[in-house]
Homo-oligomer: A and B are copies of this chain.
Amino acid sequence: MTVAAMPLSNSGRVSLKQGGGGRAMRALIERLFIRDFAAMPFDGVGLAAMDDGAAIPMGDEWLVITTDSHVIHPIFFPGGDIGRISICGTVNDLAMMGATRILGLTCGVILEEGFPLEQLEAIQRSIVATCLEAGTVIVTGDTKVMGSGEIDGIAINTTGIAMTKRVIRDNALRVGDRIIVTGTIGDHGLAVMAARHGLELEGDLKSDVAPLNSLIALATAAMPEAITAMKDPTRGGLASALHEMASKSNVGVMLREASVPVTEAVRAAGEILGIDPLHVANEGKAVMGVRPEDADRMLAILRSHPLGRDAAIIGTASRRGRAH
């Protein structure tokens, strides 16, 4: 599950003013969408958990389900497009809960009348290619067209279902756990912002958008109990993901900022735009808590996978109140 900017303005209207990932937004989401939904009887990990998805007990396993609506400008950006991000976002939300055996994805598309067919076909090719890369398939879908002015371009909702023997939560960090990120931070957010501002930058600044299920499957198959908590640092970035994991787990996090992998291109773009790479979205990275005795081996396993070759230990979960 991803919750996005929806703070309440003074006028009693939904407002974008306070940007993404903030507390005001979270408060409103909780107030409006979580309160009553979460009160419904449900025997599993439901909305009240505000995790990346829900988990429903099925025999001795869990069925994990997650949904995400994707709107992004520009819809084609360096390293990806809205089609690729729609698939990866949902595959990764499933993977973050440990669910890497994907049963299928759904794809609901809302289009603006007049949307160029050539772009639609490019997005569809990207969806197909990303599904193949993730080893999954679109099993059902839906398409709606709205009049010009009713929607700006295209919005894609993707829902995914997957099975797992063990659900990994984002609220189970323990004091002493090592914090690992699976690669460089800030690539997606800065690539998209640079594209949005028409910024010409030297070097290879592109989104990291990628399906993480094979990386996480490798890690959980080798060490089924090593990961104590996991989240993908999407909207709000690594800072927000760590804050949420720590706060829900009732621990702090001692972050060694110098250990956080950041490419030169991202660092340079961040300086030009005045944006901290730790606060922007990633679309192909996981941040996990790992038991201290397993951390070095987990790091080696992650680094053996192409999507984890820049993985790093970046900190330690500490007693609450010592976070910074």
List residues of A whose CB falls within 8 A of some B CB: 1-6, 8, 12-16, 29, 32-33, 36-37, 40-42, 44, 46-47, 53-54, 56, 58-59, 63, 65-71, 103-104, 106-118, 120-121, 124-125, 127-128, 131-132, 137-147, 149-152, 155, 157, 159, 161
Contact = CB atoms under 8 A, between A and B. Distances in A.
A142 B13 contact: no
Query: How often does this chain occur in the complex, in copies?
Result: 2
Contacts of A54: 104, 106, 139-140
A308 B165 CA distance: 42
A116 B161 contact: no
A13 B106 contact: no
A113 B16 contact: yes
A42 B29 CA distance: 36
6 contacts: A12-B117, A14-B113, A14-B145, A32-B120, A36-B128, A66-B106
A68 B149 CA distance: 21
B69 A1 contact: no
Nearest to A73: B150
B69 A138 contact: no
Given A107-B67, A108-B68, A113-B14, A138 B40 contact: yes
Nearest to A63: B103
A41 B103 CA distance: 12
Contacts of A44: 139
A71 B40 contact: no
Contacts of A2: 142, 144
Contacts of A33: 107, 109, 124, 141, 143
B151 A56 contact: no
Contact of A139 (B29, B56, B69, B157): B56
A142 B3 contact: yes
B161 A63 contact: yes
Pick the most buried of A8, A46, A151: most chain B CB atoms within 10 A of its CB: A151
A67 B152 contact: no
Contacts of A63: 63, 103, 161
A110 B71 contact: yes
B13 A137 contact: no
Contacts of A127: 37
A95 to B, nearest CB: 15
